[in-house]
Structure formats: structure tokens, C-alpha cells
């Protein structure tokens, strides 16, 4: 007998073969006007429903957002980055979608439609940053394996849905439970491809900020960002933000699938504890919360600006949810630092916009740097912390501009 999850994935694969694959676009080569902090040639490409994004891979589709779009407090849906591990991505109809909640850690397994999810649970909304664990990986020197992301595998949005803890309460979660596993409708091209299943510690699954979201910036989730429902784990990197969510299982022991046991792990001796003790070993641990970081959004390396005229330097800063206390700007390659002005606070899981007024007093090159600090006192390092998978690249950004 074929179990329901594998049947859904089999049907989903057929739908994808008839739908999404034919929608994958042709691509064109173009110079990227905003991501000049990487030496890699840029391919601009369009997915259905999206504006032109920076294509990193075709199958699976991995597309990053041009940095100039980050001047807005919330990243528009049609330019939000796209990240997949699998190539078979079904176009699920809302009326056909089901969420299965089960596992040995619940007393009453259940299955929910999208209508039931909306109707039977209290709505919740949160502003939260979605960040690929490998954002800026392409800037590591020497290069490390993986998608060579620039600075655009990131986006800030207002997410609306229901709390995962309320759904789990409806299924009757046992106190002895250890983790909660998450599965989505997408799948690999071959049977040998490991199913993309992630898990969370029970405490994180029951956190009031962890959502099953069906809206993004006031609209239904875009297809490429998880329609009809996805998981939102504010403060943690996007590897846990399961798209096209179909199954949630409560487990009595740690999940040992490939995407937890082997992938998305970082050395313990280089980063703070990741709050996921059931998955830690003596040498490594799963990547979890984001680290403090910032990005200049309106200038590019090598740009020419007018001398003796005011220049507004703009950007965003974020961390794993403690909150940004200050952003400092240097215009002389780190010799001196000055406080930027922080803009509106949309919540501790949202990025924080900032700006700084600068007037080049001479006709020469200026080295611009931005450095964020969180309320915990954590600040960005001058160089990225080396690690095998190129995660947590949060080095102080450096941009050279020419005043003429």
C-alpha cells in the first residue's frame, strides 16, 4: 500500500512535469547594476510571476534579488528571492491542498484543508526576515562548494497565518516529544534524491512566533515562495522555512534524515550554540539563528558620485531577533566610524533600515563601510568566519566610490 505522503509527491511530480517545468524561462546574460561585490558574471532571468532576478541555477530554480529592491521596508513579492533544493515543484491548487499532522508524538493525528486552517485557528501576523543560510557564499575567498549567492538571497516580508503551536495543540502533543519534522510537496528528479525534510526542536515549534503562513505582504503566497502555505521561523535561517508545507510530524527522538544529520551544519568551535541540542555533536551543530549583519543598498562598488554634494548612504541591518542597537558608517576605510540614523522599527525579527548623510569633500576615491551591532553587543567582524559550507557570511561590507 502506498502511503499518503508518497502518493501526494508522486501526483505533485506529475503536475510539475506538465506545469512548472514548461514555465521555467529562457535566460539572458546581462551585467548586474547592483551586485558589484561579486566577480561572478550575472544572469538576469524571469520566473512566471516574478520580475527579472539574478539566476544562480536553473534546475532547481535558485534566483536572488537585486540589492536595490532592499531600499523598501518590505521586499515586494514579485522580486522576492527563490530557493529550492528539488527540481520537481508542483503547482498545488488551494482547494486540493492538505496538511497532515501526525507522528508518534501526538494523540490525535489530523488532516486540515486550507479553509479549515484559516477558519479554525486564531490568525497571527509578523514582520520577519527570510535569509538563505548561504547568503553571500559567493564572496568567500577561497570559494566553497554550493550555490554562489551574492547578497540577494534575502527578503523582508509581513507574514500572516496561524501559529504552529495552536495546530499542534489540536493534535494533542505529548510532553515527551523531542522534535517536529516538516515536509513539503516538492521532490527530487530521482528516487535516490533525499527527501527535503527538516526538523525543529519542540520548543521552537511551540514558540508563539513560529507560523504556518498563507499570506505574504497582504497577498496569497507566490507559487515560488511556497503557495499555498509555508512555515515561518523568525530569527532562524530559511532552511527551516518549509515551502508548500504538506506534513508535520511530532517525533519522540531526533530526526536523522540527510538534511539534518549531514547538511546545513556548522563547526561548534566557530559559532555560538545554535539552540538545537538534540542535533548537536562534539564537533558540529545545525545552523539555526541568523547572526548580526548589514547591507548597503543604494551604492555599488566603483560607482561615481558628485563631489562637494550631499550623498545619502542607505541600507538595512538585522540579527536573529535580539534587535539592532546601532549601525556605524566609515567613509575612510575604517579609520573613523560615525553613527547612522535608524529608521522605523517593524519588530525584532524584521530588518532595520538606516541612512547616513555624507558629503565627499574632495575628488578622490572613498572607501565606505557599514557595521551593525545588536542589543547583545554582538557586532560584525571585518572578515568572514571560515567554515566548510560558507554559512553566516557577515563580514563588514566594503564599497569603493569615486567622487568626481
For residue 189, the model assigns a pLDDT of 85
Q: How confident is the model at residue 349 (pLDDT cuts 50, 70, 90)?
A: very high
Question: Structural domains in the chain?
Answer: 1-286 (3.90.420.10), 293-403 (2.60.40.650)
Distance between CA atoms of residues 281 and 285, nearest Å: 6
Q: What is the pLDDT of residues 31-60, one digit of tens each?
A: 332 233 334 457 999 999 999 999 999 899
158 in Cβ contact with 57 (< 8 Å): no
Q: Is the pLDDT of residue 25 over 50?
A: no
For residue 264, the model assigns a pLDDT of 97
Q: What is the pLDDT of residues 221-275, one digit of tens each?
A: 999 999 999 999 999 999 999 999 999 999 999 999 999 999 999 999 998 877 8
Distance between CA atoms of residues 239 and 245, nearest Å: 13
For residue 191, the model assigns a pLDDT of 82
Q: Is the pLDDT of residue 134 over 80?
A: yes
Question: Average pLDDT of the chain?
Answer: 90
The mean-pLDDT minimum among 23-32, 159-168, 280-289, 322-331 falls in 23-32
The secondary structure element, H or E, covering residue 119 is helix 114-120
Distance between CA atoms of residues 263 and 361, nearest Å: 50
For residue 372, the model assigns a pLDDT of 98
Q: Is the pLDDT of residue 9 over 80?
A: no
Q: What is the pLDDT of residues 145-180, one digit of tens each?
A: 999 999 999 999 999 999 999 999 999 999 999 999
* Mean pLDDT along residues 318-334: 97
Task: Enter the pTM of the model.
Answer: 0.89
Beta strands in 165-206 (DSSP E): 179-184, 197-201
For residue 273, the model assigns a pLDDT of 72
- Provide the 8-state DSSP code for 88: B
7-16, 29-38, 329-338 — most confident range: 329-338
Q: Is the pLDDT of residue 22 over 90?
A: no
Q: Give backbone dihedrals phi and psi of 244, rounded to 5 degrees, phi first.
A: 50, 45
C-alpha 14 chain-centroid distance: 28
C-alpha 219 chain-centroid distance: 19
Q: How confident is the model at residue 308 (pLDDT cuts 50, 70, 90)?
A: very high
For residue 6, the model assigns a pLDDT of 42
Classify residue 275 as left (phi > 0), alpha (psi -120 to 50) or beta. left
Amino acid at each position: 500500500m502506498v502511503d499518503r505522503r508518497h502518493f501526494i509527491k508522486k501526483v505533485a511530480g506529475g503536475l510539475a512535469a506538465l506545469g512548472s517545468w514548461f514555465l521555467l524561462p529562457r535566460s539572458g546574460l546581462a551585467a548586474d547594476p547592483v551586485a558589484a561585490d561579486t566577480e561572478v558574471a550575472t544572469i538576469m532571468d524571469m520566473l512566471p510571476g516574478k520580475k527579472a532576478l539574478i539566476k544562480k541555477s536553473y534546475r532547481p530554480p535558485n534566483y536572488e534579488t537585486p540589492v536595490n529592491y532592499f531600499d523598501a521596508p518590505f521586499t515586494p513579492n514579485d522580486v522576492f528571492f527563490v530557493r529550492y533544493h528539488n527540481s520537481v515543484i508542483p503547482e498545488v491548487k488551494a482547494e486540493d491542498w492538505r496538511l497532515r499532522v501526525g507522528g508518534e508524538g501526538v494523540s490525535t493525528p489530523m488532516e486540515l484543508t486550507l479553509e479549515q486552517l484559516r477558519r479554525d485557528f486564531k490568525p497571527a501576523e509578523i514582520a520577519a526576515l527570510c535569509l538563505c543560510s548561504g547568503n553571500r557564499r559567493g564572496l568567500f575567498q577561497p570559494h566553497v562548494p554550493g550555490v554562489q549567492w551574492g547578497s540577494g538571497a534575502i527578503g523582508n516580508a509581513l507574514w500572516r497565518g496561524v501559529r504552529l503551536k495552536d495546530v499542534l495543540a489540536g493534535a494533542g502533543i505529548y510532553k515527551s516529544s523531542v522534535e517536529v519534522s516538516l515536509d513539503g510537496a516538492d521532490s527530487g528528479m530521482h528516487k535516490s534524491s533525499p527527501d527535503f525534510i527538516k526538523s525543529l526542536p519542540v520548543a521552537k515549534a511551540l514558540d508563539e512566533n513560529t507560523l504556518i503562513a498563507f499570506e505574504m505582504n497582504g497577498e496569497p503566497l507566490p507559487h515560488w515562495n511556497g503557495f499555498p502555505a509555508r512555515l515561518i521561523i523568525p530569527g532562524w535561517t530559511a532552511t527551516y522555512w518549509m515551502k508548500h508545507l504538506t506534513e508535520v510530524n511530532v517525533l519522540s527522538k531526533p530526526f536523522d534524515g540527510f538534511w539534518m544529520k549531514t547538511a546545513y551544519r556548522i563547526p561548534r568551535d566557530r559559532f555560538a550554540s545554535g539552540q538545537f541540542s538534540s542535533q548537536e555533536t562534539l564537533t558540529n551543530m545545525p545552523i539555526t539563528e541568523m547572526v548580526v549583519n548589514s547591507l548597503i543598498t543604494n551604492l555599488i562598488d566603483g560607482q561615481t558620485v558628485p563631489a562637494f554634494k550631499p550623498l545619502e548612504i542607505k541600507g538595512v541591518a538585522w540579527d536573529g531577533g535580539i534587535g539592532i542597537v546601532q549601525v556605524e558608517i566609515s567613509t575612510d576605510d575604517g579609520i573613523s566610524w560615525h553613527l547612522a540614523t535608524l529608521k522605523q522599527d517593524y519588530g525584532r525579527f524584521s530588518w532595520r533600515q538606516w541612512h547616513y548623510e555624507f558629503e565627499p569633500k574632495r575628488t578622490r576615491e572613498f572607501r565606505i563601510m557599514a557595521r551593525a551591532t545588536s542589543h547583545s553587543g554582538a557586532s560584525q567582524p571585518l572578515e568572514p568566519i571560515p567554515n566548510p559550507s560558507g554559512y553566516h557570511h557577515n563580514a563588514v561590507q566594503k564599497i569603493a566610490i569615486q567622487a568626481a
